[in-house]
Structure 1
Amino acid sequence: MIGGVTAVAANGPAVNVSSVNVTPTDPTVGETVTVEVTISNQEGSNSIVDVSSIMLRTTSEHYERVEDVGAIAPGGSLTIPITTSFDSAGEKNLLAHVSAASQSNGSRTSHLRAYYRPITIDVEAPEIDAGIAASTNNSGETTVTLTNYGNVELTDAEIRTAVDGTQRDQRSTFDITPNESESVTFDTTNYDSDAVTLTGAYTARGERHEVTRTVDLNRQVQGEIRLTSVEVTERGTAISVDGEAANIGGTDVDSVLVRIPDSETVSPASGAGEFFVGSVDASEFATFELSSSVSNGTDTLPIELTYLVDNERITTTQTIDLSTASPVSPESSQDRPAATAGGDGSAGSSGLPLIPLIVGLLVVVGGSGLLYRLWNRE
């Protein structure tokens, strides 16, 4: 923090300590601080100003001093950097003390005058604090980020990965200023475990430090189509396949096509040899139906699966065991002849229907009884 107006000695040259800039604005104990002091000779001045020295000081202590700064013509200015550091934390109230004199006939006058500008610098106690984190994408790349949470710059920074105590990789980063981060990316697709130990190493205030953290990569499994709940029905050499195309992965799958490829032993049925399923979300399924003809003695039926996952086309083949097929007779139950009565419950030789015979007998018996009653009444 910088404030106040330059105090100019009475009847002195038109000298002004026009600005003071401090870098960094919030230094820490022991950190190098640069104070840029700008001195100007105001427009309309009738002489050149010769700057003898610039000091950073308090009322009782001198920090830094620069001698024989230079001369400033009327309307000109001069900026001088001065570096210093502080041994303790707290608010430092300083003065930019400029000693200058006007020149007469090319030579310095005998009277130096002092010009001041107050400076307030807040010096912080050093805090060394860093954190490390990671994120993994669907391609198996893990980005590790080292963040500087303290107020001290981190230099010579590097990030290491390890699995089960064995280092797998290492990357260097740029220096990290306070409240900033640096990231590096590792290919973790071939790591033996999802539990990975991350280590960020860096130098702060001349000493080496490390921050370590074990993370779970949470690698997302790509979508994958697998045929499940498959039922095979056999009608002679004709085979029907009904089932589910299940996505057993963790990402959505698009453009799923299920088909029976043509071969010497397998011929897909016309119009029923392939089935377009479409999209299948992660952990979901869709049903399909296929038909084909197979040669006698064929034990297996190949089914080809084609789909898109993460913009990549995948083609696989899953084989179905035909020994589990459920045979179906070519004749339906409606075409079988009705059973006829016989002595042993099977079809008789007369071929006469059983129910009409019974009804006829009842009619005959009933008629005979009626004639008997009529005869006795006479």
Structure 2
Amino acid sequence: MTFGGATVASAQQSAVSVSVDASPEDPVVGETTTFNVTVTNQEGSNSIADVSSIMLRTNQEHYERVEDVGSLAPGGSLTVKMTTTFEQAGQKNLKAHVSAKRASGGNLRAIYSPVTVDVQELDINGGLSTASNGSDETTVTFTNYGNVELSNIEITATADDSVRDNRDVFDVDPDEETSVTFDTGEYDTDIINFSATYTVRGEQYETTRTATRDQKVTGEIRLTSIDVTASGSTVSIDGEAANIGGTDVESVLISIPTTDGITPAGGSGEYFVGSVDASEFSTFELTASVERDTVPIRVAYIADNDRVTKTQTVDVSSLNTTTGAAGQTQPEATSGGEQNQSGLPLLPIIFGVVLVLTLGGLGRYLWNRE
């Protein structure tokens, strides 16, 4: 049969064969789709084939046409790249229409090869996610959840309505992502707003994300469970060096400085604790000669590579001059009654004498009645 002045033939009826592939096979509305049409003059052909034209079409519409393609010797082939876009979604059943004839003469033949593409609706969807991981940095990830490339991407960090930083990132293909890291440790707020602007086909879009920093609590040594005892002017201080922070501390040294009214007792004036893990403690013991109501204790350590020195004061004003703990006093003499010179209480003695005399008189009365 003939169609549009060309004879319709299959690969079995002609020495010329046609194949076609589409990329992508599922394009988005408005996206450029490439069709590679390959024309081959079979090896067993006995003549040169002249390829007059190649068309990309459906039964109702033409999408692309190439004229005067060229000649093919037996066993030769050529590939023509054709492009088009689709303005509506849905399945498109196309065909590569090749018009060819023998160079030595003959009728123009039409050879077809079908191809199908599934055109998708346009989905523009960029999203942000954040992670701080307890550090001074916040990592922001931009993900393309849609089906079209996102370009000209810029991510901005805003805190307290003030832009703090912005970063440009590479284009992101569908189902791909990219990440950038912001130094947020110096921000004076835990609430940070991130926004990403990006472009699709000349139009600009924006997506936002609010992040709350998961700040790391630096290790901190505090002296707890302090027990103070004294013997004369010598004070012994025992307790626990507790790490109340969220990171480990190192090189913990506890000492009593020499000041007015305080003299450390030899080597007992300082105590090297060493390392204390987060939420753990280690004991210490210090001794000094004290002639005042308070004792300053110096605590030095390293936390997150920073050296920290601070002083914690211990009140020893409630200590008496003899051995005892702070806040305790020696027991006073009992007050259960008056005492005689021998130290025996008088009231119990008098009561005993009265009881003996009474019993004696009662005995004599009963004896005389008999």
The verdict on a shared fold, with TM-score over 0.5 as the criterion, is: yes
Q: Is the 8 A contact 1:41 1:76 kept in 2?
A: yes
Q: Which amino acid counterpart does residue 120 of structure 1 have in structure 2?
A: T
Report the equivalent of 2:212: 216
Q: 1:286 to 1:102 in 2, by over 3 A?
A: same
Find the aligned partners of 1:122 and 1:148 in 2 and give their Cα distance. 21
Find the aligned partners of 2:215 and 2:71 in 1 and give their Cα distance. 67
Find the aligned partners of 2:85 and 2:132 in 1 and give their Cα distance. 43
Which structure 2 residues correspond to residues 22-37 of structure 1 after superposition, within 5 A? 22-37=22-37
SS of 1:223 mapped into structure 2: coil
Q: Which moved more, 1:174-183 or 1:83-92?
A: 174-183
Q: Which amino acid counterpart does residue 17 of structure 1 have in structure 2?
A: V
% of aligned pairs identical? 41
Structure 1: which 5+ residue stretches go unaligned? 1-5, 374-378
Deviation of 1:152 (Å): 2.2
Deviation of 1:181 (Å): 1.8
Deviations 1:250-305 (A, max 9, x none): x3426574522675765366478426475544xx3535232122464595423324
Q: Which amino acid counterpart does residue 8 of structure 1 have in structure 2?
A: S
Please state if 1:253 is matched with 2:219.
no
Deviations 1:326-376 (A, max 9, x none): 4243368xx99x99xxxx95784xx69789xx79x98xx99xx9xxx9xxx
Report the equivalent of 2:327: none
Find the aligned partners of 1:174 and 1:266 in 2 and give their Cα distance. 66
SS of 2:31 mapped into structure 1: coil
Report the equivalent of 2:322: 330
Report the equivalent of 1:159: 155
Q: 1:260 to 1:96 in 2, by over 3 A?
A: same
Find the aligned partners of 1:239 and 1:80 in 2 and give their Cα distance. 96
Q: 1:45 to 1:173 in 2, by over 3 A?
A: same
Q: Is the 8 A contact 2:256 2:288 kept in 1?
A: no
Find the aligned partners of 2:343 and 2:94 in 1 and give their Cα distance. 132
Deviation of 1:167 (Å): 1.4
Q: Which amino acid counterpart does residue 42 of structure 2 have in structure 1?
A: Q
SS of 1:330 mapped into structure 2: coil
Q: Is the 8 A contact 1:261 1:268 kept in 2?
A: no
Q: Is the 8 A contact 2:154 2:198 kept in 1?
A: yes
Report the equivalent of 2:132: 136
Deviations 1:113-159 (A, max 9, x none): 22211111111221222222211133211111222222222111111
Report the equivalent of 1:50: 50
Deviation of 1:238 (Å): 2.7
Report the equivalent of 2:236: 239
Which structure 2 residues correspond to residues 193-212 of structure 1 after superposition, within 5 A? 193-212=189-208
Please state if 1:123 is matched with 2:119.
yes
Report the equivalent of 1:3: none
Find the aligned partners of 1:24 and 1:39 in 2 and give their Cα distance. 21
Of 10, 13, 28, the match for 1:8: 10
Of 273, 281, 301, the match for 2:296: 301
Q: Is the 8 A contact 2:252 2:302 kept in 1?
A: yes
Please state if 1:114 is matched with 2:132.
no
Q: 1:60 to 1:260 in 2, by over 3 A?
A: same
Report the equivalent of 1:150: 146
Deviation of 1:202 (Å): 0.8
Q: Which amino acid counterpart does residue 202 of structure 2 have in structure 1?
A: G
Deviations 1:3-57 (A, max 9, x none): xxx95266532x2223x22222221222111111222333333334333322110
Deviation of 1:206 (Å): 1.8
Q: 1:10 to 1:132 in 2, by over 3 A?
A: closer
Find the aligned partners of 2:141 and 2:271 in 1 and give their Cα distance. 48
Find the aligned partners of 1:252 and 1:77 in 2 and give their Cα distance. 71
Deviations 1:203-234 (A, max 9, x none): 11221111123232233333333334545444
Of 240, 261, 264, the match for 1:267: 264
Deviation of 1:93 (Å): 0.9
CA-based RMSD:
3.9
Q: Is the 8 A contact 2:55 2:64 kept in 1?
A: yes
Which structure 2 residues correspond to residues 283-298 of structure 1 after superposition, within 5 A? 284-286=279-281, 288-294=283-289, 296=291
TM-score by length of 2: 0.76
Q: Which amino acid counterpart does residue 218 of structure 2 have in structure 1?
A: Q
SS of 1:327 mapped into structure 2: coil
Q: Is the 8 A contact 1:9 1:114 kept in 2?
A: no
Deviations 1:84-117 (A, max 9, x none): 111211111110112233444xxxx453322211
Structure 2: which 5+ residue stretches go unaligned? 1-7, 325-329, 365-370
Count how many residue pairs are aligned between Structure 1 and Structure 2.
342
Q: Is the 8 A contact 1:234 1:325 kept in 2?
A: no
Report the equivalent of 1:40: 40
Q: 1:172 to 1:296 in 2, by over 3 A?
A: same
TM-score by length of 1: 0.75
